[in-house]
């Protein structure tokens, strides 16, 4: 998005919404720029309307609000480090154990911090990557580990956004 003009970006957002509606039968409620937002993306998303959040931020481990042209807007941050895409990068994850260890270490830190502040752990998954037999075992082990802790909630970004909005209405 960052290479597009404002008019082109606005049009791409509109086309993405239309495509999502045609494919899924409903309008998307969240926005994430796969290839990097521009300095105006958030404003254009708010201007488009219908979105309850965006995830075009890598800067925090908790949702937060921003003001965009006088409108309160929720940001549900994304994290690219706990992402199976790192199997394709060098240096990156090599084995399912690498992925599991990294997720556990991230989880343990965030879980401890959650005693004082709400914390969010975003895990990026792609079927063509994590779905491989030698990789899925690491995710399965991590899920079992996380489920063994009290108060852990596995949720979509939409569920997180709706919960956060309800708590902070």
Which tens digit of pLDDT belongs to each residue from 103-132?
Answer: 999 999 999 999 999 999 999 999 999 999
C-alpha–C-alpha distance, residues 120 and 10, integer Å:
30
Tokens of 2: 């960052």
Of 165, 166, 142, 136, nearest in space to 154 by CA: 142
The residue extents of the domains of the chain are 6-78, 84-157
Entry pTM: 0.91
C-alpha–C-alpha distance, residues 88 and 94, integer Å:
9
C-alpha–C-alpha distance, residues 80 and 87, integer Å:
12
Residue 36: pLDDT band (50, 70, 90) is confident
Which tens digit of pLDDT belongs to each residue from 139-166?
Answer: 999 999 999 999 999 999 999 999 999 9
Q: Taking residues 8-19, report their average pLDDT.
A: 96
Instruction: Quote the pLDDT of residue 1.
Output: 64
Residue with tokens 């956004």, as numbered in its chain: 161
Instruction: Quote the pLDDT of residue 41.
Output: 96
C-alpha–C-alpha distance, residues 83 and 158, integer Å:
19
The answer to whether the Cα torsion of 89, 91, 96, 100 is positive or negative is negative
- Which CA distances in Å does 23 have to 16, 122, 168? 10, 25, 32
Residue 134: pLDDT band (50, 70, 90) is very high
Instruction: Quote the pLDDT of residue 91.
Output: 85
As a whole number, the mean pLDDT across the chain is 95
Dihedral angle, C-alpha 106, 111, 113, 119, nearest 10 °: 80
Which tens digit of pLDDT belongs to each residue from 38-87?
Answer: 999 999 999 999 999 999 999 999 999 999 999 999 999 998 899 999 99
């Amino acid at each position: 998005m960052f290479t597009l003009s404002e008019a082109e970006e606005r049009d791409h957002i509109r086309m993405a919404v239309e495509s999502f509606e045609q494919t899924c039968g409903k309008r998307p409620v969240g926005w994430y720029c796969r290839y990097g937002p521009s300095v105006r993306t958030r404003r254009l998303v708010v201007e488009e309307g219908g979105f309850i959040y965006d995830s075009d931020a890598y800067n925090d481990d908790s949702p937060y609000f921003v003001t965009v042209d006088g409108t309160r807007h929720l940001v549900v941050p994304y994290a690219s480090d706990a992402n199976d895409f790192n199997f394709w990068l060098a240096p990156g994850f090599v084995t399912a154990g690498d992925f599991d260890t990294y997720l556990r270490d991230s989880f343990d830190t965030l879980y401890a911090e959650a005693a004082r502040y709400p914390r969010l752990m975003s895990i990026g998954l792609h079927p063509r990557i994590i779905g491989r037999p030698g990789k899925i075992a690491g995710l399965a082990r991590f899920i079992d580990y996380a489920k063994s802790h009290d108060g852990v909630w596995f949720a979509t970004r939409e569920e997180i956004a709706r919960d956060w909005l309800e708590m902070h209405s």
